[in-house]
């Protein structure tokens, strides 16, 4: 089984997190994950092909936004809520709230 790298709490960079969340598809993904708590790639309904979704999943993981857990043939994504709150208090919450409020669409 492959090792998936996740940055350490202290290594998470603000600019990287903001970049990861500046893409409408990725904003949608984290919004979905927040609602369900944990979700596999296949359960996330985005208008891109599998390989593209995998790319977005990797971008979010490497920025420190999500944690990816291997479960059988699935990868379960969850938000790194606590780590982000510890490092950047209030940031994730205000982004998710802003996303819900303004209802920004993909594309």
Partner DNA sequence: TCTAATATTCGATGACAATCGAACAATAGA
Partner DNA sequence: TCTATTGTTCGATTGTCATCGAATATTAGA
Q: Give me the residues that bind a copy of itself (CB under 8 A), please.
A: 13-16, 18-19, 21-24, 27, 87-91, 93-95, 97-99, 101-102, 104
> Which residues from 59-78 bind DNA, rule CB under 7 A?
59, 68, 70, 72-75
Distance, in Å, from the CA atom of 72 to the CA atom of 81, rounded to the nearest integer, reads: 24
Per DSSP, the three-state class of 5 is: coil
Of 6, 7, 25, 32, the one binding DNA (CB under 7 A) is 25
Q: Are the C-beta atoms of residues 7 and 76 closer than 8 Å to each other?
A: no
CB of 96 to DNA, least distance (A): 19
What angle (nearest 5°) sits at the alpha carbon of residue 40, between those of residues 23 and 54?
A: 45
Q: Which stretch binds DNA (CB under 7 A): 29-37, 38-46, 80-88, 95-103?
A: 38-46
Nearer to a copy of itself, 43 or 100 (CB): 100
């Amino acid at each position: 089984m492959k090792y998936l790298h996740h940055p350490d709490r202290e290594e998470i960079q603000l600019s990287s997190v903001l970049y990861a969340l500046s893409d409408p598809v990725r904003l949608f993904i984290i919004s979905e994950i927040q609602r369900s708590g944990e979700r596999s790639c296949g359960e996330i309904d985005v208008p891109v092909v599998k390989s593209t979704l995998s790319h977005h999943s990797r971008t979010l993981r490497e920025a420190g936004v999500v944690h990816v857990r291997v479960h059988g043939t699935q990868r379960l994504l969850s938000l790194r809520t606590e780590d982000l709150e510890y490092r950047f208090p209030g940031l994730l919450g205000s982004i998710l709230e802003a996303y819900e409020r303004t209802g920004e669409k993909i594309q």
